[in-house]
């Protein structure tokens, strides 16, 4: 048994990259024609879990709630995190869940993971319309300390304390990095800018070793996969799916783009004359302003 047990909540999301995404004539996403993949924020959370695998030999479980095909998100997350265990919570009963009902399923799932979970990682938010609340709500339901926007962390294995750096954006002002400490267990929502760093040769060698292991495991990911329906999970039907969702999204509207208030003139090309034209324009507009 490992000294550190980690769970990662991930999500299957549409692949928005060109050549893979498809839109309907009205501009909405054509879900049937668009491939789904592990969401980018979930990928970052998986990377964060892998960091603990390399440094502390942590045991990693990846969990997700979704349709049966969401197992590919688990496979991709296993490739990134070298997970020892994969959980898929899949049941028609879960359909229509909002963030709170999702958190209920994820919370219950964590209790099914082998060993007592010390850290849960989740992405910052999903890319296909989610509000970033699932994480905090799951943490609250689990009774874990919640740490959001984490860009770096390490675990003092002796004292079982997590030290983390949080990136806080003071909108309109500047960004600050806050350093916090919390005893295990914790729930960490990882910031998209997180990047693990491995600073010694031996850490890099361990990294290579686990990464190779991850490749092998992900190829046979079904061996690590456990699928739970509502009954197997033992969730309260009142707390999941539509019945457990206090919020309902009844309409999604496109926000009309504001009319540009500036007038722009496009000067094509890079010849001397064209550049001179741009310079003259700038000078006209800025008038007496001196640019240093």
Give the phi and the psi of residue 183 in degrees, each rounded to 5: -75, 150
**In the set 1, 27, 68, 261, which binds other proteins (CB under 8 A)?**
27
**Is the Cβ of residue 69 or residue 205 nearer to other proteins in the bound state?**
205
| Interaction between residue 170 and other proteins (CB under 8 A) | no
Q: Does residue 128 sit in helix, strand or coil?
A: coil
**In the set 31, 92, 160, 212, which binds other proteins (CB under 8 A)?**
212
In the complex, least distance from residue 213 CB atom to other proteins, rounded to whole angstroms: 11
**In the set 26, 253, 265, 273, which binds other proteins (CB under 8 A)?**
26
CA angle 225, 230, 231 (to 5 degrees): 100
Q: What is the H or E stretch that residue 97 is in?
A: none
| Interaction between residue 18 and other proteins (CB under 8 A) | yes
DSSP 132-160: S-HHHHHHHHHTPEEEEEEEEEEEETTTT
| Interaction between residue 21 and other proteins (CB under 8 A) | yes
Residue that the structure tokens 């309907």 belong to = 24
| Interaction between residue 222 and other proteins (CB under 8 A) | no
Report yes or no: 278 and 267 within 8 Å, Cβ to Cβ. yes
Residues present in the chain in total:
292
**Interatomic CA distance for residues 143 and 74, integer angstroms:** 25
Q: CB neighbours (10 Å) of residue 202?
A: 9
**In the set 3, 175, 178, 208, which binds other proteins (CB under 8 A)?**
208
**Interatomic CA distance for residues 217 and 83, integer angstroms:** 8
Stretch that binds other proteins, among 23-31, 38-46, 137-145, 283-291 (CB under 8 A): 23-31
**Is the Cβ of residue 268 or residue 284 nearer to other proteins in the bound state?**
268
In the complex, least distance from residue 254 CB atom to other proteins, rounded to whole angstroms: 10
Q: Does residue 50 sit in helix, strand or coil?
A: helix
In the complex, least distance from residue 203 CB atom to other proteins, rounded to whole angstroms: 8
Stretch that binds other proteins, among 12-20, 109-117, 125-133, 144-152 (CB under 8 A): 12-20
In the complex, least distance from residue 247 CB atom to other proteins, rounded to whole angstroms: 28
List the beta bridge partners of residue 152: 165
User: Which residues in the 185-204 window bind other proteins by CB under 8 A?
Assistant: 199-202, 204
| Interaction between residue 175 and other proteins (CB under 8 A) | no
CA angle 244, 245, 250 (to 5 degrees): 150
State the residues that interact with other proteins by CB under 8 A: 18-27, 199-202, 204-205, 208-209, 212
């Amino acid at each position: 048994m490992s000294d550190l047990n980690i769970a990662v909540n991930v999500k299957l999301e549409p692949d928005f990259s060109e050549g893979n995404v498809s839109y309907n004539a009205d501009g909405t996403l054509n879900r049937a024609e668009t491939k789904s993949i592990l969401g980018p924020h979930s990928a970052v959370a998986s990377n964060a879990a892998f960091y603990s695998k390399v440094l502390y030999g942590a045991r990693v479980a990846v969990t997700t709630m979704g349709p049966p095909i969401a197992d590919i998100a688990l496979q991709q997350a296993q490739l990134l995190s070298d997970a020892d265990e994969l959980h898929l919570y899949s049941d028609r009963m879960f359909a229509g869940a909002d963030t709170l009902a999702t958190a209920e399923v994820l919370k219950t799932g964590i209790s099914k993971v082998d060993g007592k979970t010390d850290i849960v990682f989740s992405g910052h938010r999903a890319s296909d319309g989610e509000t970033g609340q699932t994480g905090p709500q799951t943490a609250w339901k689990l009774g874990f300390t919640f740490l959001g926007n984490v860009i770096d962390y390490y675990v003092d294995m002796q004292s079982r304390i997590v030290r983390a750096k949080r990136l806080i954006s003071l909108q309109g002002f500047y960004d600050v990095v806050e350093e916090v400490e919390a005893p295990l267990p914790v729930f960490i929502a990882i910031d998209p800018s997180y990047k693990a760093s491995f600073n010694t040769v031996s850490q890099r060698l361990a990294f290579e070793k686990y990464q190779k292991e991850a490749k092998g495991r992900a190829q046979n990911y079904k061996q690590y996969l456990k699928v739970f329906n509502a009954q197997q999970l033992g969730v309260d039907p009142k707390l999941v799916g539509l019945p457990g969702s206090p919020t309902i999204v009844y309409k999604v509207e496109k926000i009309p783009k504001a009319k540009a208030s500036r007038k722009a003139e496009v000067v094509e090309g890079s010849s001397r004359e064209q550049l001179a034209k741009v310079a003259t324009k700038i000078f006209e507009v800025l008038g007496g302003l001196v640019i240093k």
